[in-house]
Amino acid sequence: MELTAEQRAQFDRDGYLIFPDLFAPSEIAVLRQEVARLSDIHADEVVRELTGGVKSLFRVHEDDGPTRSAPFRALVRSPRVLRPVQQVLGSDETYVYHTKINAKPAIEGTIWMWHQDYNSWSKDGCPTSNMATYNVMLNDTTEFSGCLYIIPGSHKLGLLESVLDTSTGYKLWSIPKAKMIEVLRNSPPPVAVTGKAGTAVLFHCNVLHASGHNLSGEDRWHIYVSCNAVANKPILGPNPRPDWVVSRNWHPLPIEDDAGFVKAA
């Protein structure tokens, strides 16, 4: 899947692209079945809400580890995922920084505060912000079910000061309230990224984004494939985060069968 010149210009301007209905219902069914299976696993890679429900599932794309998944391994190598990432990063040599399934349970799935991904990744030792995340919706997603919000063009603000938020089940470097109010008052309105299951969104690591509480009666499952150029791999410090958050597998990914994740089920 090749991005058009218009799409690449839009990504440079707004910091994100949305691909409605990119994956078929039959393909999404395979991935949903995998999420249900992985949700029963108890390991460090499975982060839970304070209520016990799954908040995030990490490292589903590798060959080993408790959360390994053949369909998700094949998904990250699909040309529908990997090729647009290569284009926006400007490199055919890219790898998966981490995979994360955010699985907001019905009613109790909590928020993610306003943040930039590069606030964490710069602290991991990544030299530049030439990184991006590819998100696939595994459910129909509405504002009511806790959709992703993006502030268009906010990647052009550069890296903002952040504070470590420990109020939810997963620690997050988020933007302080006063600064966020200033940004919101001086930026285009946030975009609610909603759509049917199979919709995808690709966004820059400095784009400000957040998501709300899932108040609906259905779980909200999204797979986030965060990617980095091999040339931008982190310079790890003395106490790096575990490899399920900061991958040590820096080999460039090959583009493989576009239907591989269905065949792997």
**pLDDT tens digit string along 80-106?**
999 999 999 999 999 999 999 998 889
pLDDT 10s digits, 191-205: 999 999 999 999 999
- Separation CA 190–CA 148 (nearest Å): 10
pLDDT at 53: 81
Q: Identify the band that residue 172 occupies on the pLDDT scale cut at 50, 70 and 90.
A: confident
167 has a pLDDT exceeding 80: no
48 has a pLDDT exceeding 90: no
Q: How many helices (H) and strands (E) does the chain have?
A: 7, 13
- Which helix or strand (DSSP H or E) is residue 260 part of? helix 260-263
pLDDT 10s digits, 207-253: 999 999 999 999 999 999 999 999 999 999 999 999 999 999 999 99
Q: Identify the band that residue 126 occupies on the pLDDT scale cut at 50, 70 and 90.
A: very high
Mean pLDDT score, 67-77: 97
Mean per-residue pLDDT of the chain: 94
Q: Residue 258 falls within a domain, yes or no?
A: no
Q: Residue 54: which CATH number? A: 2.60.120.620
Q: Return the number of other C-beta atoms located less than 10 Å from residue 245's C-beta.
A: 19
Q: Residue 223 falls within a domain, yes or no?
A: yes
Q: Residue 206 falls within a domain, yes or no?
A: yes
pLDDT at 242: 97
pLDDT at 170: 64
Q: Residue 4 falls within a domain, yes or no?
A: no
Q: Residue 34 falls within a domain, yes or no?
A: yes
- Where would I find the beta strands (DSSP E) of the chain? 16-19, 46-48, 54-58, 94-104, 112-115, 131-137, 148-150, 163-165, 172-174, 191-193, 200-204, 209-211, 220-229
Q: Residue 207 falls within a domain, yes or no?
A: yes
Q: Residue 197 falls within a domain, yes or no?
A: yes
Mean pLDDT score, 150-167: 90
Percent of the chain whose pLDDT exceeds 70 = 98
pLDDT at 151: 98
Measured between alpha carbons, how far apart are the two ends of the chain, in Å? 23
Domain containing 71 equals: 18-112+130-152+190-230
Count structural domains, the chain: 1
Q: Residue 175 falls within a domain, yes or no?
A: no
Mean pLDDT score, 32-60: 91
165 has a pLDDT exceeding 90: no
- Separation CA 207–CA 123 (nearest Å): 17
